[in-house]
């Protein structure tokens, strides 16, 4: 490798012509720099989707891990199977049964978080230019994967009942008519990130029927399904369709993201390709993490722990909705999520969430602008607010600050008309934000 950097060029400049073409899709978010400021303690961050693990019994976890090392250390410290630990795969089948899924452990592949499962599925199915249909808006981390594999994302609308069947049908027909190849529908049916809505039970068979008729695989991403506030878990799409659905699950939100353990449940025919892709990516998912999660599931009341998480997140959801009701200008709209981590808020016409973000951070509150969740530049008048991490008091304070910034923004707009000054940080008002570690 030539280590000489041309005079006047930065080290990065000297590599720019050598990167693979596909890295053109890998760009840092324009707002990443702002989030390093947003993570300061004086800023109330309603931005990141970090699970709140303060309720985890760390003493129990610590004991389980030390027993694991004492009794099974050599295995936990060793390479394992590319498909994942067989005992954990059986336990994963028990977890999925809560959503009506009857599966065989042979069809489960353990992954490094469900994020890696999105990556592996895209790797084995998508060539550059292939189309992935996504909800509008969609999870920023999945959009980043699709972009990295040079896929084209076609969005289909959602409403308060989730993905709209007629919008899905229209997106499929338009894409096929344009001669493009659709590889799969990526959907988050429960407590959507970022939209906060769930696909109604009545809609699920319709979505399955449309995909079956058009021969389109479904990638069902379900990290929040067990985190409903008021209801039992909803029936998974995979529960009623085993051949046409790849289901993704994760222990990040129901246990802890630090272990980085998720999984894919795939049709049997796909399983081998997934395992081969996993082996080339990581050789195997980490044995230690898997065995720690497995010990936790075997020895701890994990369902009781999830119940506690649900109560904690419900309390925070209530705090956010109450604060929004009390403090936000009337022209804003938002949904009341029944689970998960997120509220999707639509601003009054003409207010641009990304342009406003530096002013919000100056006022010590952060959110994620809606454009991050679209591959096509839409979403400028929306934002995602997370209620998972801060305390209820901090959530209220954050909403109070946000309402103040918004009112000032609306006044500014009245003064300057449609030409509201944009960001002071060179942030453009439209465009796609690549995934950012702050944007989980
Ligand atoms: N899918 C969705 C919808 C998510 O919100 C996240 C993380 N926030 C993931 C996948 C990835 O989670 P993990 O890799 O921690 O399982």
Q: 138 CA to middle of ligand 1, Å?
A: 12
Q: What is the pLDDT of residue 432?
A: 32
Cβ atoms of 220 and 236 closer than 8 Å: yes
| pLDDT tens sequence across 213-270 | 999 999 999 999 999 998 889 999 999 999 999 999 999 999 999 999 999 999 999 9
Is the predicted pLDDT of residue 436 greater than 50, yes or no? no
To 10 degrees, what angle do helices 268-282 and 113-125 make? 110
- In the prediction, which pLDDT does 52 show? 93
Question: Nearest C-alpha to atom 9 of ligand 1 is from which residue?
Answer: 115
The answer to whether the CB of 183 falls within 8 A of the CB of 126 is: yes
- Per-residue pLDDT tens over the stretch 292-325: 999 999 999 999 999 999 999 999 999 999 999 9
pLDDT for 22 equals 86
Cα 114 to averaged position of ligand 1 atoms, centre (Å): 6
- Tokens standing for residue 439: 């944007």
Q: Which residue's CA lies nearest to atom 7 of ligand 1?
A: 440
Question: What does the pLDDT read at residue 55?
Answer: 87
Ligand 1 touching residue 289 (CB < 6 A): no
Planar angle of CA 68, 88, 257, nearest 5 degrees: 80
Ligand 1 close to Cβ of residue 138 (< 6 A): no
% of residues, the chain, pLDDT over 70: 90
Is the CB of 440 within 6 Å of ligand 1?
yes
Phi, psi values for residue 245, rounded to 5°: -130, 135
Q: What pLDDT shows up at residue 416?
A: 75
Specify the pLDDT at position 23. Answer: 87
pLDDT in tens, 55-64: 899 999 999 9
Q: What is the mean pLDDT of residues 278-305?
A: 96
> Ligand 1 center to residue 16 CA distance, Å?
31
Position 433 scores a pLDDT of: 36
199 has a pLDDT exceeding 80: yes
Say how far apart CA 79 and CA 282 lie, in whole Å.
10
Provide the pLDDT for residue 94.
97
Would the CB of 434 count as within 6 Å of ligand 1?
no
pLDDT digits (tens, 9 = 90+) for 326-337: 999 999 999 999
Confidence of residue 429 (pLDDT cuts 50, 70, 90): very low
For residue 157, is pLDDT > 80? Answer: yes
CB-ligand 1 contact for 49 (6 Å cutoff):
yes
Nearest-atom number in ligand 1 for the CA of 112 is 14
Question: What number does the ligand 1 atom closest to the CA of 114 have?
Answer: 16
- Asked if 229 contacts 313 with a C-beta cutoff of 8 angstroms, the reply is yes
pLDDT band at 423 (very low <50, low <70, confident <90, very high): very low
Ligand 1 within 6 A of 175 CB? no
């Amino acid at each position: 490798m030539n280590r000489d950097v041309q005079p006047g060029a930065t080290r990065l400049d000297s590599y720019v012509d050598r990167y693979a073409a596909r890295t053109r899709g890998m760009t840092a978010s324009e707002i990443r720099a702002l989030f390093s400021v947003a993570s300061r303690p004086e800023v109330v961050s309603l931005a990141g989707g970090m699970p709140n693990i303060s309720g985890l019994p760390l003493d129990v976890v610590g004991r389980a891990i030390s027993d694991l090392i004492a009794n099974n250390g050599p295995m936990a410290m060793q390479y394992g199977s590319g498909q994942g630990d067989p005992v954990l795969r059986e336990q994963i089948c028990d977890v999925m049964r809560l959503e009506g899924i009857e599966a065989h452990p042979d069809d489960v592949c353990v992954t490094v978080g469900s994020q890696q499962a999105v990556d592996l599925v895209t790797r084995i199915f998508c060539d550059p230019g292939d189309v992935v249909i996504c909800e509008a808006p969609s999870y920023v981390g999945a959009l980043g994967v699709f972009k990295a594999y040079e896929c084209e994302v076609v969005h289909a609308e959602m409403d308060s009942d989730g993905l709209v069947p007629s919008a899905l049908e229209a997106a499929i027909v338009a894409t096929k008519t344009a001669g493009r190849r659709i590889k799969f529908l990526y959907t988050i049916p429960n407590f959507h990130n970022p939209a906060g809505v769930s696909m109604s039970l009545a809609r699920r068979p319709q979505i399955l029927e449309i995909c079956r008729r058009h021969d389109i695989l479904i990638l069902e991403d379900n990290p929040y399904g067990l985190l409903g506030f008021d209801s039992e878990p909803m029936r998974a799409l995979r529960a009623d369709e085993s051949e046409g659905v790849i289901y993704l699950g994760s222990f990040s939100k129901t246990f802890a993201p630090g272990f980085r353990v998720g999984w894919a449940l795939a049709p049997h025919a796909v399983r081998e390709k997934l395992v081969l892709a996993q082996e080339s990516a990581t050789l195997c998912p980490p044995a230690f993490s898997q065995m720690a999660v497995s010990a936790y599931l075997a020895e701890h009341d994990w369902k009781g722990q999830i119940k506690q998480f649900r109560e904690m997140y419900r309390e925070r959801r209530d705090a956010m909705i109450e604060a929004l009701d009390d403090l936000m200008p009337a022209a804003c709209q938002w949904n009341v999520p029944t689970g998960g981590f997120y509220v999707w808020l639509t601003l009054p016409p003409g207010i641009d969430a990304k342009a406003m973000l530096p002013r919000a951070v100056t006022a010590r509150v952060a959110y994620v602008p809606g454009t991050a969740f679209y591959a096509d530049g839409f979403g400028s008048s929306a934002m995602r607010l997370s209620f998972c991490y801060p305390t209820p008091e901090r959530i209220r304070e954050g909403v109070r600050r946000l309402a103040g910034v918004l009112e000032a923004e609306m006044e500014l707009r009245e003064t300057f008309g449609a030409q509201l000054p944009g960001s002071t940080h060179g942030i453009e008002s439209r465009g796609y934000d690549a995934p950012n570690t702050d944007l989980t």
